[in-house]
Amino acid sequence: MNAIKNTRKMFPFLLLLMVTVCPGNAWAVQSHGAPEGLYVHQLAHIFYTAALGYLFWGVRQSAFKSQGWRFLQIFCIFMIAWNVVAFTGHFLAPFIDHADYTREAGYLSTHLQGPFTGVKLWYYFTQLDHLFSIPSLFFLYLAMKTIYRSSCEDEKI
C-alpha cells in the first residue's frame, strides 16, 4: 500500500521528466482550416481586445489606485498591442510566399529575402509579437504579486 502512495506522489515528477527528456513535436503554432478557422481566430482576437479594453477602462474608473492595479493596466495595454500585431500578421499571411523566407539553421535563423516590399516588412514585424506578449505576462505577474501582498497586509491590520 505504501508503494502505491509513493507512486502516486512521484507520477507528476516522472511525467514531467519523461516529457522533458523525450520531447516530441510541440505544435505550438496551429494552422486553421480555411477560411472558417481563420475567421473564428480573427474574431477571437477582436473579442479578446475588446475584453482587455473593458478591463483597462474598468480598473481606470474604479477606486483601485495601488501599484498592482497600475501593473494590471500596463498588462492590458501590452496585450492589446499584441492582439493588434497578431491580428495584422494573420491578415497579411495569405499575401506572403514561404519562399520569401529562408531558414538555414532552423527557426531562430530565419532571414527575409529581397526584394523587400511593404507587405513583407509588415509581416516580418508581426512575427515579433513576443516583444509584446512577454512583457505583458511579466506585468501580469507583477500585478498579481503586488495585489496579493497588499491584500495580505490588509488582513494583518
Average pLDDT, the chain: 85
Q: Calculate the alpha carbon distances from 102 to 108, 111, 114 in Å.
A: 11, 5, 11
105 CB contacts (<8 Å, ≥6 apart)? Answer: none
Q: Where are the domains of the chain?
A: 37-156
Here the cell at position 87 is: 491580428
**pLDDT-based confidence at 77, cuts 50/70/90?**
very high
pLDDT tens-digit readout, 13-54: 888 887 777 766 666 566 666 777 788 889 999 999 999 999
Least confident of 78-87, 111-120, 134-143: 111-120
111 against 57, higher pLDDT? 57
pLDDT at residue 142 in the model: 96
pLDDT at residue 26 in the model: 61
Distance CA 155, CA 134 (A): 32
pLDDT at residue 107 in the model: 65
User: Strand ranges (DSSP E) for the chain?
Assistant: 101-103, 110-112
Q: Of 81, 93, 155, 150, give the one whose Cα is nearest residue 124.
A: 93
149 sits in which H/E element:
helix 130-156
Peptide bond just before 94 cis, omega within 30 deg: no
97 against 55, higher pLDDT? 55
pLDDT at residue 5 in the model: 72
pLDDT at residue 17 in the model: 80
Please compute the mean of the pLDDT values over residues 69-90 and round it to a whole number.
95
Q: Calculate the alpha carbon distances from 7 to 4, 14, 15, 66, 68 in Å.
A: 5, 9, 11, 45, 41
